[in-house]
Amino acid sequence: MMTTIQTLDTPDGPFTLLADAEGRVLSSGWTDDPERILGRLRAADRPHDVRAGETEAAAAVRAFYDGDLAAIDSVPVVQHGTELRHAGWAALRRIAPGEPLSYTEFATALGRPSAVRAAASICARNAPALFVPCHRVLRGDGSLGGFAWGVEVKRALLAREAGAPLS
């Protein structure tokens, strides 16, 4: 099955996404390095036939950056993992823009309030960044915490979603 990779220019830097033949996003992030995007996938899940081209999801990325924050919500994604991770990734997609949760609140939303480390792991193993908005989860003290694509990108995304002016 052919997989398409595409890099777009965004205000937060180059954004690359990898989508399967059905248009589902497998991996994405703020880089122009295809190897970093492929590296977000387990070796067993990495596609063998990857070609540069136009993806259906690119329109949602452009719309998001043009102010339609809900544009990413309906983009289909595919991830491989445990039942808990799938539940977590689905829960991340339900976090509203501008209303981030703490890792503790995210664990509680998963029905496992004491599983804060598991909640953090779910975010860390999220391959289709932006479409599954793990950037909307913060440390308990409200600080940003980590982000695979850099804290400055996370800060800019959260500011954009909160309607704050970006410098």
Q: Which residues carry out catalysis?
A: 134
Distances 87 to 60, 84, 162 between C-alpha atoms, Å: 23, 5, 25
Residue 39 to residue 46: CA distance in whole angstroms: 8
Tokens of 82: 């445990």
Q: What b/e sequence results for 104-126 when a residue is b if at least 16 CB atoms lie within 10 Å of its CB, and e otherwise?
A: bbbbbbbeeeebbebbbbbbebb
Pairing state of beta strands 137-138 and 101-102? parallel
**Nearest C-alpha neighbor of 136 from the set 167, 104, 92, 166:** 92
Answer whether 132's CB lies under 8 Å from 88's CB.
Answer: no
Using DSSP, state whether 9 is helix, strand or coil. Answer: strand
